[in-house]
């Protein structure tokens, strides 16, 4: 069966520090991978999605970046965090080339930038 | 105006009540998802539908494509149903992306 792992679960970082959140998927190949952010009191916002290794699409201009160094690994990074980067970050995957397919979420990372 | 609107924003019910959460959208879609987010933040996909009706246990989801409206029903509600329920649509022609509503926070009391 397929599983998705996301870590860490919580993170407190000072402004200006770097960020690296990691997400891995097991039990499937060539998944679509997504990073979402949920700010307090707001809906989920798509940050990045990837349909293959090294292929990243950015939805929202900001100081975050994403990389997909391996088929089932998706990393969210920042060189210098801002206060506005605080939020709940969710990684998700869906089967590739299946437009109407379910979306599977990781347990999320709660990031607080102080 | 958001492309996906949910109502109500907050809902409190007593155990056993029948619950309805509504989702309206203003764009053409290829699919609609209902998601459940528990207090810890984890999200579970409940339904994905593009027409008609789906049922899983005490949960029922319906969609009316012509009216651009979907409902999530919970029969015989229970405190463990307390969560945020999120509607999300896959906009036609956008392949891999979902647009989310802001969610309905449901609290079921004894």
pLDDT in tens, B21-57: 999 999 899 899 999 998 888 899 999 999 999 999 9
The nearest alpha carbon in chain B to A6 belongs to B42
Q: Say if residues A73 and A24 touch (Cβ distance below 8 Å).
A: yes
Which comes out higher in pLDDT, residue A52 or A102?
A52
Site from A31, A48, A99, A108 to mutate, B interface, most B CB atoms within 10 angstroms:
A99
Query: Which residue pairs, CB below 8 angstroms and at least 24 apart, start in A51-57?
Result: A51/A96, A51/B96, A52/A96
Which residue matches tokens 């080339």? A97
Site from A52, A100, A107 to mutate, B interface, most B CB atoms within 10 angstroms:
A100
pLDDT band at B73 (very low <50, low <70, confident <90, very high): very high
Between chain A and chain B, how many beta carbons pairs sit less than 8 Å apart? 62
pLDDT value at A51 more than 60: yes
The pLDDT of residue A96 is: 66
To the nearest 10°, report the CA torsion of A11, A15, A16, A22: 20
Q: Say if residues B31 and A99 touch (Cβ distance below 8 Å).
A: yes
pLDDT band at A2 (very low <50, low <70, confident <90, very high): confident
Contacts of A56 in chain B (CB under 8 A): none
Residues A69, B70: Cα–Cα separation, whole Å: 38
Contacts of A4 in chain B (CB under 8 A): none
Beta carbons of A43 and B45 less than 8 Å apart: no
Percentage of chain B with pLDDT > 90? 76
pLDDT band at A97 (very low <50, low <70, confident <90, very high): low
pLDDT value at B95 more than 70: no
Mean pLDDT score of chain A: 90
Averaged pLDDT, A43-68: 88
Residues B31, B49: Cα–Cα separation, whole Å: 6
Q: Which residue among B44, B50, B100 sits closest to A43, beta carbon to beta carbon?
A: B100
The rounded radius of gyration (Å) of the Cα atoms in chain B is 13
Contacts of A90 in chain B (CB under 8 A): 41, 43
Beta carbons of B100 and A103 less than 8 Å apart: no
């Amino acid at each position: 069966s397929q599983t998705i792992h996301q870590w860490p679960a919580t993170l407190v970082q000072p402004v200006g520090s770097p960020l690296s959140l990691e997400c891995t998927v097991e039990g499937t190949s060539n998944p679509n991978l997504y990073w979402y952010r949920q700010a307090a009191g707001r809906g989920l916002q798509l940050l990045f999605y990837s349909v293959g290794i090294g292929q990243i699409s950015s939805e929202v201009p900001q100081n975050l970046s994403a990389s997909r160094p391996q088929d089932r690994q998706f990393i969210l990074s920042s060189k210098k965090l801002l206060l506005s980067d605080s939020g709940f970050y969710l990684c998700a995957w869906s089967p590739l080339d299946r437009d109407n397919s379910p979306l599977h979420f990781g347990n999320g990372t709660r990031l607080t930038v102080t | 105006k958001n492309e996906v609107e949910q109502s109500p924003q907050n809902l409190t019910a007593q155990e056993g009540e029948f619950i309805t959460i509504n989702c309206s959208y203003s764009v053409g879609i290829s699919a609609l998802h209902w998601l459940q987010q528990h207090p810890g933040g984890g999200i579970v996909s409940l339904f994905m539908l593009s027409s008609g009706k789906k049922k899983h246990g005490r949960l029922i989801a319906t969609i009316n494509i012509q009216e651009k409206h979907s409902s999530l029903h919970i029969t015989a509600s229970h405190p463990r149903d307390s969560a945020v329920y999120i509607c999300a649509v896959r906009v036609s022609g956008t392949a891999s992306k979902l647009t989310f509503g802001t969610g309905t926070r449901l609290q079921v009391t004894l």
